Amino acid sequence: MGQKGTETRDRLLDATQESVEARGYFGTGLNQVIAAGGAPRGSLYFHFPGGKDQLVAESIRRAGQTIGDAMGGLADSTSSAAEFVDAVLRQLGDRLEGSDWHKGCPVATVALETAAGNDLLQEACAEVYSSWETALRAQLASRQDADDLAVTILAMIEGALLLARAHRSRRPLNSVARQIRVLLG
């Protein structure tokens, strides 16, 4: 694929991610994605022959990788698991607040809307969540309960993001950060 094709594909993925995060899977229309991505309809089906489900699945994986990469950078710049989780929560809070409370978790809305009935999207959501659990587990490697703690902390972060978005407040993120520090003692 040439540079123009790569740029078109990236614009479609960007437009999909923006729309899915703000409006969910069912609130995202292909015409809207095509218009926002500045691409002709044929480009969408050329790059994503599986249609909307393939486009959304790839968008979720890409957004998940972006957050995973950020977590990797934070892992390199923190000295403890508690510091790492604090930094992740701060960064996610900055992202959420900076988007006027539209960009919480790039996976959660799609997971809630489709995971029970759409295998392709369920697999994409599960892959992203698993990669984030792995990043958390790596920070907790010295603990016997690292597996359970990684899942627990991710669930706390996800819940805090949902509540922060609903309340348009960082308070849930700050509360969860404090409790995670206690949990990690």
Buried b / exposed e over 87-120, threshold 16 CB at 10 Å, is: bbbeebbebbbeeeeebbbbbbbbbebbbeebee
Cα angle, residue 78 at apex, residues 75 and 80 outer, rounded to 5°: 95
Which amino acid is residue 48, in one-letter code?
F
Q: Is the pTM of this model over 0.85?
A: yes
Instruction: Report CA 65 to chain centroid distance, whole Å.
Output: 8
Element (H, E) at 1: none
Query: How many Cα atoms occupy the beta-carbon half-sphere of 10 within 13 Å?
Result: 7
Q: Quote the pLDDT of residue 136.
A: 96
DSSP string, 95-140: HHHHTTT--S-TTHHHHHHHTTT-HHHHHHHHHHHHHHHHHHHHHT
Residue located via tokens 């701060």: 90
3-class secondary structure, 37: helix
> Which of 24, 172, 1 has its CA nearest to residue 92?
172
Q: Quote the pLDDT of residue 1.
A: 62
Chunk the chain into consecutive blocks of 10 residues (it has 185) and report each block's average pLDDT, rounded to whole numbers. Answer: 83 96 94 94 92 97 96 94 96 96 93 95 98 96 95 98 97 97 93
